[in-house]
């Protein structure tokens, strides 16, 4: 699993142009978002989903409120938000 995250991070960094490079915090945000999407796709009920979400937050040493605060902070940086969401979209399109 760790190798998949490293590969994913490398794809994100390589996939973005020089002016579109993601900061380490942005890369972590994308990785968390991808892990949450994977957890959602693998959960059949809300109890399992909540456990998987908690596991993702623990893995990345963050909390749900910190993740949501990062997401809300993107509203103040639309240029960065566009780059981040393109990275998420590109990553999701590569996951089959």
CA distance 3 to 26: 19
| Contact partners, residue 31, CB within 8 Å, separation at least 6 | 5, 8, 9, 60
User: What pTM did the predictor assign?
Assistant: 0.76
Residues 22, 83: contact at Cβ < 8 Å? yes
Is pLDDT of 5 > 90?
Answer: no
Give pLDDT, residue 18. Answer: 44
pLDDT in tens, 34-88: 999 999 999 989 999 999 999 999 999 999 999 999 999 999 999 999 999 999 9
Give pLDDT, residue 96. Answer: 61
Is pLDDT of 11 > 60?
Answer: no
Give pLDDT, residue 65. Answer: 97
């Amino acid at each position: 699993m760790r190798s998949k995250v490293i590969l994913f991070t490398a794809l994100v960094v390589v996939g973005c142009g020089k002016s579109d490079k993601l900061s380490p915090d942005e890369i972590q945000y994308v990785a968390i978002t991808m892990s949450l999407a994977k957890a959602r796709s693998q959960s059949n009920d809300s109890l399992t989903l909540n456990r998987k979400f908690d596991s993702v937050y623990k893995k990345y040493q963050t909390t749900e409120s910190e993740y949501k605060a990062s997401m809300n902070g993107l509203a103040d940086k639309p240029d960065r938000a566009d780059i981040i969401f393109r990275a998420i979209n590109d990553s999701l399109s590569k996951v089959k």
